[in-house]
Amino acid sequence: MELVKSLGAHWVIDYTKEDFTRKKGSYEIIFDTVGKSSFSKSKASLKKNGRYLTSTGKMMKNYFLTIWTSLMARRKFIFAMSVDKVESLNLLKKLAEAGIIKPIIDRTYPLEEMVEAHRYVEMGHKKGNVVIRVN
Ligand SMILES: NC(=O)c1ccc[n+]([C@@H]2O[C@H](COP(=O)([O-])OP(=O)(O)OC[C@H]3O[C@@H](n4cnc5c(N)ncnc54)[C@H](OP(=O)(O)O)[C@@H]3O)[C@@H](O)[C@H]2O)c1
């Protein structure tokens, strides 16, 4: 929670103590960055023209929800996937160097310890990113 506050959050909900979906019509935007919620369970918590953003989930379902909500619903579903493009990585590099985005690095492993790195990530509690050092 302290980490999230250090990124600029004014108010933090502890998911182990409170289910954010119980507050109906409360949020303008819900952005699920870890894939632990669903649009169906969260939409009632959005304000009338609210947006549910995600970067996870099944592609076909995401496309369907994007199209369906854009045509039929006030509360919209929006998703985005990262792309393995050099320009995108260079843009991220520039934004990080300019301090516009603040990457959070939890742990760094050398390439030889890839197995340990995966084990750590698969525990599902990493804070931000785990980096593999290749050189
Ligand atoms: N769109 C894309 O291009 C893209 C790219 C990369 C990854 N992804 C997807 O993004 C998802 C997240 O991946 P990840 O590996 O970064 O994260 P992760 O390791 O699954 O998430 C770890 C973090 O999530 C928190 N967390 C766990 N359960 C939570 C809950 N119910 N509510 C709120 N926070 C919770 C943990 O906090 P605690 O330690 O306090 O429990 C920890 O900080 C995956 O589904 C992955 O497939 C998408």
pLDDT at 98: 97
Same domain, yes or no, for 74 and 106? Answer: no
Residue 5's identity, in one-letter code, is: K
DSSP states of 22-61 as a string? GSTT-EEEEEESSS---HHHHGGGEEEEEEEEES-S-HHH
- Ligand 1 in reach of 35 Cβ (< 6 A): yes
Mark which of 38, 64, 79 sits at the end of a domain. 79
Same domain, yes or no, for 20 and 57? Answer: yes
pLDDT at 122: 97
C-beta of residue 73 within 8 angstroms of C-beta of residue 52: no
Residue bearing the CA closest to ligand 1, atom 25: 125
Q: Which ligand 1 atom lies nearest to the CA of residue 121?
A: 19
Instruction: State how far the Cα of 53 lies from the Cα of 2, in Å rounded to an integer.
Output: 23
**Full domain range(s) for residue 66:** 2-79
Centroid of ligand 1 to alpha carbon of 28 (angstroms): 21
User: With b meaning 16 or more CB within 10 Å and e meaning fewer, what string describes 57-81?
Assistant: beeeebeebeeebeeeeebbbbbee
Instruction: Give the tens place of pLDDT for each residue, 5-19.
Output: 998 999 999 999 999
What's the CATH number where 44 sits? 3.40.50.720
> Sorting pLDDT into bands at 50, 70 and 90, what band is 126?
very high
Instruction: Give the tens place of pLDDT for each residue, 20-71.
Output: 999 999 999 999 999 999 999 999 999 999 999 999 989 999 999 999 999 9
Look at the chain and report how many structural domains it folds into: 2
User: Measured at the alpha carbon of residue 125, what is the angle toward residues 18 and 117, in degrees to the nearest 5?
Assistant: 170
Same domain, yes or no, for 13 and 54? Answer: yes
Instruction: Give the tens place of pLDDT for each residue, 58-114.
Output: 999 999 999 999 999 999 999 988 777 899 989 999 999 999 998 999 999 999 999
